[in-house]
Amino acid sequence: MDYTTYLDQTILDFVNETMAFYPADLKGDDWDGQRAAYDRMAAHFHAGRPVGLTVLDGTIDGVPVRFYGAETDTVIVYAHGGGFVLGGLESHDDVCAEIAAETGVQVVSVDYRLAPEHRHPAAYDDMMAVLRALAEARRLVLCGDSAGASLCASVAGTWVGPALAGQVLIYPSLGFAPEGGSFETHAHAPLLSRDELRGYGDVRGGTPEDPRATPRAGDLARLPPTFIYSAECDPLHDDALRYQAAAQAVGGSVHVETGTGLVHGWLRARHRSQRAADMFRRITERLSLLCHGD
């Protein structure tokens, strides 16, 4: 696909602005270099926090977290993207702050351990520890983007405890074979290629039949209400459709909305692209509905 003619100019500009932070000679497995570039990029796109929002750092069961907003009966637990090797509390700080402000619900961002220093199941164990502690007294809604969305889906498919109120997954990897459909059509899409996707999976570890690492292997019949917001120009797009079909076949509730003309990582373009802004608004509206019992 010729993305230079298919994508609108605001998304093309966003892609170019993002890629400017990655030196041409940066090796894919230079994780220190990749993290430094990713952190600079995330800081560049940071849109600030809404005025008056209280933000505090802390720990839950030994896992570093960041609290956005005053405590509410329902809490949105956010897992950041970054292929399980990049990112942290700072990289998605403004996203979490805006979600808290738009929904009026406290957001807890989880700083789970990263590969390759901490391979699977470290991230899953950290996320599960935070959720178990919070579930003792509060309703839980899961939300995440990219690898974080995959992590949420793995938790949802293995969860034993008080019913989850829902999950919102933004361009997730859900564990189907990277063949056919969008994996072929968008194998070389901007900001995430199929080869990069495979590389992140190899570094993280885990097996295809381990539901803690592979969401499609979980108990899809017992999923909470699940809403997936995928990007059209993303090798992962059809992962969402396959997950939806597999869940519906066993009675699970999964809804998919495609971000037409959007690429993987579009969250950072929400203040630069009307398409991205509209999609982000729909996400915060859905989170509000889930948190308030709809």
Q: What is the rounded distance in angstroms from the CA atom of residue 112 to the CA atom of residue 216?
A: 21
Residues 22-36, mean pLDDT to the nearest whole number: 94
Residues 27-41, mean pLDDT to the nearest whole number: 95
- Mean pLDDT score across all residues of the chain: 97
CB neighbour list of residue 95: distance below 8 Å, 6 or more residues apart: 78, 145, 267
pLDDT band at 294 (very low <50, low <70, confident <90, very high): low
Q: Which CA distances in Å does 55 have to 93, 106, 200, 206, 270? A: 10, 10, 31, 34, 21
CB neighbour list of residue 83: distance below 8 Å, 6 or more residues apart: 146, 147, 196, 200, 203, 204
pLDDT in tens, 163-202: 999 999 999 999 999 999 999 999 999 999 999 999 999 9
Q: What is the rounded distance in angstroms from the CA atom of residue 158 to the CA atom of residue 150?
A: 13
Nearest Cα to 164, choosing from 172, 153, 174?
A: 153
Q: Which CA distances in Å does 291 have to 73, 139, 155, 168, 242? A: 9, 8, 18, 11, 26
pLDDT in tens, 66-122: 999 999 999 999 999 999 999 999 999 999 999 999 999 999 999 999 999 999 999
pLDDT band at 279 (very low <50, low <70, confident <90, very high): very high
Catalytic residues: 146, 234, 264
pLDDT at residue 28 greater than cutoff 90: no
Q: What is the pTM of this model?
A: 0.98
Nearest Cα to 170, choosing from 135, 142, 144?
A: 144
Do the beta carbons of residue 194 and residue 235 sit within 8 Å? yes
Do the beta carbons of residue 203 and residue 85 sit within 8 Å? yes
**What is the per-residue pLDDT for 55?**
98
